[in-house]
Amino acid sequence: MARKMKTMDGNSAVAHVSYAFTDVAAIYPITPSSVMADLTDKFSAAGQKNLFGREVQVTEMQSEGGASGAVHGSLAAGALTTTYTASQGLLLMIPNMYKMAGELLPSVIHVSARALTSHALSIFGDHSDVYACRQTGYAMLCSNNPQECMDLTAVAHLTAIKGRVPFLHFFDGFRTSHEVQKIEAWDYEDLADMLDWDAVEAFRRRSLNPEHPVTRGTAQNDDIFFQAREACNPYYDAVPEVVVEYMNKVNEKIGTNYKPFNYYGAADAEHVIVAMGSVCDCAEEVVDYLNAAGEKVGLLKVRLYRPFVGEYLVNELPDTVKSLSVLDRTKEPGSIGEPLYLDVLAAINDSKFAGVKVYAGRYGLGSKDTTPGDVIAVYRNAQSDAPKRKFTIGIVDDVTNLSLPVVENPDTTPAGTHSCKFWGLGADGTVGANKNSIKIIGDHTDMYAQGYFAYDSKKSGGLTVSHLRFGKTPIKSTYYISKADFVACHNPSYVDKYEIVEDLKEGGSFLLNCGWDVEELGKRLPGKMKKILAERKINFYTIDAIKIGKEIGLGGRVNTVLQSAFFKIADIIPAEQAKEYMKDAAKKSYMKKGQAIVDMNYAAIDRGMEDVQKVEIPAEWINAVDDAAADKVAGEGALVE
Top-confidence residue, 630 or 627: 627
State the pLDDT confidence band at 22, using cuts at 50, 70 and 90: very high
Top-confidence residue, 463 or 639: 463
pLDDT confidence of residue 388: 98
pLDDT confidence of residue 634: 41
pLDDT, mean over the chain:
94
Nearest to 501 by CA among 512, 513, 516: 512
The average pLDDT across 465-489 equals: 96
Topology at the third CATH level for domain 264-392: Rossmann fold (3.40.50)
Nearest to 144 by CA among 291, 300, 366: 300
State the pLDDT confidence band at 425, using cuts at 50, 70 and 90: confident
The average pLDDT across 10-39 equals: 98
State the pLDDT confidence band at 1, using cuts at 50, 70 and 90: low
Strands 271-275 and 323-328: parallel
Q: Do domains 4-207+224-253 and 418-628 have the same CATH topology?
A: no
One-letter amino acid for residue 344 of the chain = V
pLDDT at residue 374 greater than cutoff 70: yes
Which residues, at least 6 apart from 415, have a Cβ–Cβ distance to it below 8 Å?
Answer: none
pLDDT confidence of residue 640: 35
pLDDT digits (tens, 9 = 90+) for 233-279: 999 999 999 999 999 999 999 999 999 999 999 999 999 999 999 99
Q: Give the C-alpha separation, 302 to 258, whole Å.
A: 11
Nearest to 303 by CA among 334, 263, 336, 341: 263
The average pLDDT across 395-421 equals: 95
pLDDT confidence of residue 632: 43
pLDDT at residue 40 greater than cutoff 70: yes
Q: Residue 246: what are its φ and ψ, rounded to 5°? A: -75, -30
State the pLDDT confidence band at 589, using cuts at 50, 70 and 90: confident
pLDDT confidence of residue 639: 35
One-letter amino acid for residue 240 of the chain = P
Q: Give the C-alpha separation, 391 to 370, whole Å.
A: 14
pLDDT confidence of residue 554: 84
pLDDT at residue 630 greater than cutoff 70: no
List the domain boundaries for the chain. 4-207+224-253, 264-392, 418-628
pLDDT at residue 585 greater than cutoff 70: yes
Q: Give the C-alpha separation, 487 to 477, whole Å.
A: 17
Q: Give the C-alpha separation, 168 to 143, whole Å.
A: 11
pLDDT confidence of residue 384: 97
pLDDT confidence of residue 555: 80
pLDDT at residue 283 greater than cutoff 90: yes
Nearest to 160 by CA among 86, 228, 236: 236
Class of domain 4-207+224-253 (CATH, top level):
alpha beta
Say which DSSP state 117 is in.
P
Calculate what percentage of the chain has a pLDDT beyond 90: 90
pLDDT digits (tens, 9 = 90+) for 285-343: 999 999 999 999 999 999 999 999 999 999 999 999 999 999 999 999 999 999 999 99
pLDDT at residue 638 greater than cutoff 50: no
Alpha carbons within 13 angstroms on the beta-carbon side of residue 112 total 30
Q: Residue 307, Cα to own-chain centre: how many angstroms?
A: 24
State the pLDDT confidence band at 95, using cuts at 50, 70 and 90: very high
The average pLDDT across 383-394 equals: 97
- Mutual angle of helices 595-611 and 559-570, in 10-degree steps: 40
Alpha carbons within 13 angstroms on the beta-carbon side of residue 485 total 17
Nearest to 377 by CA among 350, 404, 402, 403: 404
Beta strands in 251-399, from DSSP E residues, in sequence order: 261-265, 271-275, 297-302, 304-306, 323-328, 357-362, 390-392
The average pLDDT across 609-638 equals: 76
Give 418-628's CATH code, choosing from 3.40.920.10, 3.40.640.10, 3.40.30.10, 3.50.50.60: 3.40.920.10
pLDDT at residue 462 greater than cutoff 90: no
Global pTM value: 0.95
